[in-house]
Structure 1
Amino acid sequence: MKNLIFTLIILVTAVGCSNEPSSNQPIGEKVLLISFDGFRYDYLSKTDTPNFDKLVETGVISKGLIPIFPSKTFPNHYAIATGLYPENNGFISNSMYDPEMDAIFSMRDREAVENPDWYQGEPIWNTVEKQGKKAGTMFWVGSEAPIQDMHPTHWKVYDQSMGDSARIDTVVKWMSYDDPKQVDFATLYFHFVDSQGHRYGTDSPEVVEAIERADDLMGYLIQRMEEHGLIDHTNLLVVSDHGMANVSRERIVVLDDMIDPNDIEIIEYSPSLMANVKNGDPAAIYNALKEKEENFKVYLKENIPERYHLKNHPRVPDLLMVADIGYTINTQEFFDAREDYPSGAAHGFDNREKEMHAIFIGSGPAFRSGYRMKAFENVHLYELMADLMNITPAPTDGTIDSVSVMLK
């Protein structure tokens, strides 16, 4: 009898002290970051969204997610990934010129997108991998480049034609406990809400259909996660990079009415137009624009407002013009060549404008239930994700204190 008891004690102790849990058992909580590009903060009110509503009922929604300026796709996705403002992570817009590299970045230039020299700061997937965990990125700005000579365990080259359900199935597989390379952190990205907003405007039936499609995808994602035993052990962060504002031909700013467009080299276009001066004195061009400043604001680089967190980077050019909400800046030649331009909706406006605010929903074991919180800046999301995964963050411009109120 004594021998039997002793044997049982040894077995129980061995099981309790084992450092090798079975492969199908949860190991801590995971984080899944999901972006619906161009999903404005108020889009859930435009139609029935039962799957989003369930997440909101059991989790957290904010009154908005405030983008960094400029409120464009690449800068904001990279700000979310690094927790840094543009002047600290180098991503000042979708298009930019680096005088030290003497090179131009365009988001459609595959070579530039995959060049790590354009990316500064430490993205969250690198932080994850450096601390003994694994990450998988399904289309996220920066994840295709070997930043700090690293890639996530799993990553994909951006392919817009890849089906929505295929994206979800792939990420769920990466996260699954029966996968030998299961990840602790993953991303998902969908572009179609942004595309329909640009083309048809924020109040169009096409945007409503896109919102409903996004809701269906959330339902499918939750179903697949439930099937793989992930839903109770994963914190979901549903975000967008920016909102949208309607534009029209009736609201335009023509550069030719103020300056000779040939005197400047436009690097990034409206509504946050960035340009270097080719001919003449930057101060003279600035003064000519300033004299007729209507429906836009103009700044020399050194006078860009501090709240934009932009000017202290060598990639920022001589001039910045910021269109008032709903207005478009361009040359007469550009307008004349496109009778229907501008139309639909656009983003890139001042990030204080409510129309530029994005969506944030947090749901999972770490989040409070049914909590509503004020709008907050997206640079705090990196710190939030690091906290959720119990990893040490790299230096950022965000703080966990700014968002910890949403956690249990």
Structure 2
Amino acid sequence: MSLPAKPREMSSRSSYEEREGLLAENDRFDPYDDPFDKELTTQPSDEDGWPRSKMVKTASGFILLLILGVFARALLRSPLHVHPDLSFSGDYIRSNGTHDFRRTVLIVSIDGLRADYLDRGLTPHLLEISKRGLRAKSMVPIFPTLTFPNHWALMTGLYAESHGIIANNFWDPQTELEFHYNKISSAWNPDFWLGEPMWETANKAGIITANLMWPGPPKTKSGSSPTYFVPWKDKVPLSAKLDQLLAWIDLPFDERPQLLMAYEPSLDQAGHLTGPMSTLVNQTLAQVDLFAAALHDSLVDRNLTDIVDIVFVSDHGMTDTSHPTLIYVDDDDMLGEQGLSAVVHEDGWPAMGLRFNSKKNESYYLEKLLTSQHPHAEGFDVYTKHTMPSRWHFAHHDRIAPVWIVPKIDYALTTRKEGDVGMSKGNHGYDNNEHSMHAMFVAHGPFSAVVKDLHRSSFSAWLPWKNKGWHSTSDDTYVMDSFPNVEVYGLVAKLLGTENYASHNNEYGDKKFPHSP
């Protein structure tokens, strides 16, 4: 599909407008003008030309295991190995009994599925899939814990300071352009999206790819597009998304994608609207669980569970914000009205990235914030690029504003004029160390069998990580320890055999992710 000739424009939005938009039906941008207002399609996308980027920075245990070919080869040679065709070569052809397939990866993002939602007793199918495969205690999102930064982190293996999507809305001082997640002219502008997504890496390896509404541009700066591309449209039934994924899987051999990506926002929308503990969230959670079951059962029916690795992820969690303690940034013990009027660009939300109209004002109001005697000073932190927590990897990019006010859980930044109007009852965007911000990871397929076999084998003593997770021998459930979501890019590259085509984040890439000989 090509871009619409005249994409629908939307006006710039303040933090107030952004938070109000979280409650609207069009919670994400809707690119559908007449040329797109049609059923889901398998029409291939165009390819012209746009950057190369990078790879993942750190390695969690299970992915390091997969990347270190010595362990995989040792397991495949061991008598404990009982799973067929676990080669990590993307070119290896397998049969499901009636048709030939190449190694395939299907990654599904369920927006806002907090890690501990799986313990509510409402997701029996996802839990059953995790028992057949594996589950992580949680997956740690990047900071800020927002939808667009984290979906691009999953795609590229990069933190926000490297992939450039530093919030759902921000200003770029180099281009003097504003990015808004729900505005096509920016959300589809490839200049905002740095790094190399996994589908571009796969394209370089000659692999067919398919993207079903995953947040991001239809093309990168290098001109790479998914082979099949279905753009975002709100309120698409889960059944239609299931049909589209299966239609791709059922394509003829030479047209069938090996990497499929899909996105579902309904749980996040419910969490914003009514809060993470609400009946609506529980009902929506049960619905996405049924979708996961139907998708997995469809793979079982096609005898593809030894061929297709299915990975369910989320981008972040959700916390209750129905009764936050409000911190008014225009009060005299914060910026004051004059200080707020000196702000020329405000990025992000619920955190605030501030750019002032002069360096003098920046220094003055930074000092005022740092020495604030606000009665709720315990509810927020003030950072510059030089004082940001290093674990956030949120300092080394021009798009990151020089001053940030970051609220803690149970607190919200606002102004006297805005108050709590438009605030959602559930939100995210807070410190990624907060457990309520953590995402989920559930997987089943050939690679999960490798991990479980190695864990219970004599090779487990050689595992290259200290915390090996928890394994129940009674029901063969394996729950991995928490790991950063930037690991997923490296995992998919290994599973598809595309690691030789992958870009590297920095000099540590080769050390953390040595290529299998």
TM over 0.5: same fold? Answer: yes
Matched, 1:271 2:350: yes
1:332: Cα distance to partner?
1.1
SS in 1 for 2:260: strand
1:229: Cα distance to partner?
4.0
Q: 1:68 to 1:270 in 2, by over 3 A?
A: same
SS in 1 for 2:378: coil
Matched, 1:262 2:336: no
1:271: Cα distance to partner?
2.2
Q: What is aligned with 1:350?
A: 431
2:126 pairs with one of 47, 52, 55: 52
The number of equivalent residue pairs is 383
1:46: Cα distance to partner?
1.8
Matched, 1:290 2:370: yes
Cα distance in structure 1, aligned partners of 2:153 and 2:229: 19
> Contact 1:69–1:308 at 8 Å: present in 2 too?
yes
Matched, 1:324 2:421: no
1:403: Cα distance to partner?
11
Q: Deviations over 1:262-308 (max 9, x none)?
A: 12135334322112112652121111112223300011233222221
What's the C-alpha RMSD, in Å, of the aligned pairs?
2.4
Q: Deviations over 1:36-70 (max 9, x none)?
A: 00000000122332211211111111111000000
SS in 1 for 2:142: coil
Q: What is aligned with 1:377?
A: 484
Cα distance in structure 2, aligned partners of 1:112 and 1:204: 33
> Contact 1:324–1:349 at 8 Å: present in 2 too?
yes
Greater shift, 290-299 or 371-380, is seen at: 290-299
SS in 2 for 1:381: helix
> Contact 1:133–1:183 at 8 Å: present in 2 too?
yes
Amino acid of the structure 2 residue aligned with 1:335: G
Q: What is aligned with 1:197?
A: 271
Percent of aligned pairs sharing the same letter: 29
Amino acid of the structure 1 residue aligned with 2:350: P
Q: What is aligned with 2:441?
A: 360
SS in 2 for 1:42: helix
> Contact 1:266–1:273 at 8 Å: present in 2 too?
no
> Contact 1:62–1:372 at 8 Å: present in 2 too?
yes
Q: Deviations over 1:19-48 (max 9, x none)?
A: 999996333321001100000000012233
Cα distance in structure 2, aligned partners of 1:310 and 1:20: 42
1:224: Cα distance to partner?
2.7
Q: What is aligned with 1:154?
A: 228
Cα distance in structure 2, aligned partners of 1:150 and 1:309: 27
Amino acid of the structure 1 residue aligned with 2:344: E
TM-score, structure 2 as length reference: 0.70
Q: What is aligned with 1:13?
A: none
Q: What is aligned with 1:388?
A: 495
Cα distance in structure 2, aligned partners of 1:20 and 1:376: 31
Q: 5+ unaligned residues in a row in structure 2: which ranges?
A: 1-91, 453-476
Greater shift, 34-43 or 245-254, is seen at: 245-254
1:86 pairs with one of 160, 164, 170: 160
> Contact 1:137–1:186 at 8 Å: present in 2 too?
yes
> Contact 1:165–1:217 at 8 Å: present in 2 too?
yes
SS in 1 for 2:240: helix
> Contact 1:26–1:233 at 8 Å: present in 2 too?
no
Q: 1:401 to 1:230 in 2, by over 3 A?
A: farther
Q: What is aligned with 1:112?
A: 186
Q: What is aligned with 1:16?
A: none
Q: 1:20 to 1:60 in 2, by over 3 A?
A: closer
Q: 1:400 to 1:56 in 2, by over 3 A?
A: farther
Q: What is aligned with 1:69?
A: 143
Q: 1:384 to 1:270 in 2, by over 3 A?
A: same
SS in 2 for 1:231: coil
> Contact 1:114–1:146 at 8 Å: present in 2 too?
no
> Contact 1:113–1:145 at 8 Å: present in 2 too?
no
> Contact 1:272–1:320 at 8 Å: present in 2 too?
yes
> Contact 1:37–1:240 at 8 Å: present in 2 too?
yes
1:307 pairs with one of 385, 391, 398: 391
1:179: Cα distance to partner?
5.5
> Contact 1:298–1:321 at 8 Å: present in 2 too?
yes
Amino acid of the structure 1 residue aligned with 2:419: F
Q: 1:71 to 1:401 in 2, by over 3 A?
A: farther
Q: 1:256 to 1:44 in 2, by over 3 A?
A: same
Q: What is aligned with 1:15?
A: none
Q: Deviations over 1:80-108 (max 9, x none)?
A: 10001111111111111111111000001
Cα distance in structure 1, aligned partners of 2:513 and 2:444: 14
> Contact 1:296–1:322 at 8 Å: present in 2 too?
yes
Q: 5+ unaligned residues in a row in structure 1: which ranges?
A: 1-18
> Contact 1:270–1:322 at 8 Å: present in 2 too?
no
1:372: Cα distance to partner?
1.1
> Contact 1:328–1:342 at 8 Å: present in 2 too?
no
Matched, 1:241 2:315: yes
2:196 pairs with one of 97, 118, 122: 122
Amino acid of the structure 2 residue aligned with 1:394: S
Cα distance in structure 2, aligned partners of 1:382 and 1:322: 28
1:231: Cα distance to partner?
3.2
Cα distance in structure 1, aligned partners of 2:324 and 2:295: 42
Cα distance in structure 2, aligned partners of 1:224 and 1:265: 52
> Contact 1:40–1:358 at 8 Å: present in 2 too?
yes
